[in-house]
Structure 1
């Protein structure tokens, strides 16, 4: 009969826990050029100062960039001064959105706009795409994460594959894209800005559809935002998120959702879904180097007041 060694193994594990050394987070000092206030704008007119306040400078990657929210947010960043843009999405989504991407390029002929296929569930795809974008744009200053999928399954019957798929895309994919961008921002010595897409669903239980996996994934994104903001501030990297409510996109379209949309509207103080354009103000604010300078770890809810009820 062999001896039972499980007790000894457990003792060793407990001993290793009591002797472990935890990594320590380092916070920035106020005098650091990466986090201190910017010098006043050298303009005297109110118009010039207003334009400079919300200017967006640098080179941006937008994941999920071929979708409705990603494309319109990319356009807003370009309108506010972005110098280079890389749109990342699944190959089939890039293909179906080719006309909109070309239209965007024609509106901003002086801006370098590229598109790169990306699967946010693949570390190999993430590393290859971000390295290609970093080289093509000669830097990475801004990352906007719009890649995400819905998930509406009853919790008693949802399968592990269904649940894990939502978490893998929405939460894990967001983190590892942010990590890939942050490594390059840190190496540049200039810092940068990362914007996640959380959701109204991160803060409340949707009705009538059951979507525990989706809500958990977005709650994770919202709290991850705060953690990374604290951890990466020392590198001059600001990390924020937006939490849109129900948006008037293809995800919420179709006759089969007509009755559900009525319920959503009835539970919103403004009585309607949001227009994708209504997300762009928060995106520009959080990505602007001046107006958003002292904003990090924040989540801006854009839901027509739904969370007030």
Structure 2
């Protein structure tokens, strides 16, 4: 007999699968047959948190995954530390949140924009959480206003949060309600602290910031799909220092910058990279102030990295 369930945690060897029983939801630890691991050599993880699977139950009470159902979407990044293949962070999600801090550690624009490019490419609605607002100074306010106005205008709603500001947490909960969402961000930006405050029953371990380099210390080891008491699910992921793009060619990068879509149609050349070519509609728009300098700088930095690969 086969059952259907959803992967809620992956530790590499075992997959925790949640499925419906008469008594309610139950979890079972499942193994994956070797043939699945060989089918896609480009992935470090053939199964991701959020996947729907079909499985059978062994005599010892463990499970065996028989089928991985087609994904509606997935969030993927290039593997780091010289590992071969790419890593799927979460699958079948309604909304992805990139979490950054106003301070400790400082906001990483490159990480942020790479994440948004991936969400555009893989058709995942994206949000931005700017956390640790309690650390913001009066001098930060102009930056916060400009940042919020810019990304809101591009369709990426910005939520300003602090674990010491209950109204900001209520706004975040309202945004998460009844959806399957994922939190992604560098270590130390406060993902786990936010999660502990909006879902206190989870009580996940919180790390500290290294004062030597202002980088966070990893606390979440594996991604996990967590139920929210007010409705919905949230995938908490390990802290990520880099977000490498997958299957995006240099000539198509501008397709994933919403502010460039209109202007790229005015380019003289079909394969324009919007960096040096004559008659470029995007460059003209940038010079006329229609594209924010920070976003155009991000575009050029990402383009350089794609052309180097």
- TM-score, normalization by structure 2: 0.35
Q: 1 or 2, which has the higher helix percentage?
A: 1
Instruction: Work out which structure has the larger RCO, using CA pairs closer than 8 Å and 6 or more positions apart in sequence.
Output: 1
Q: 1 or 2, which has the higher strand percentage?
A: 2
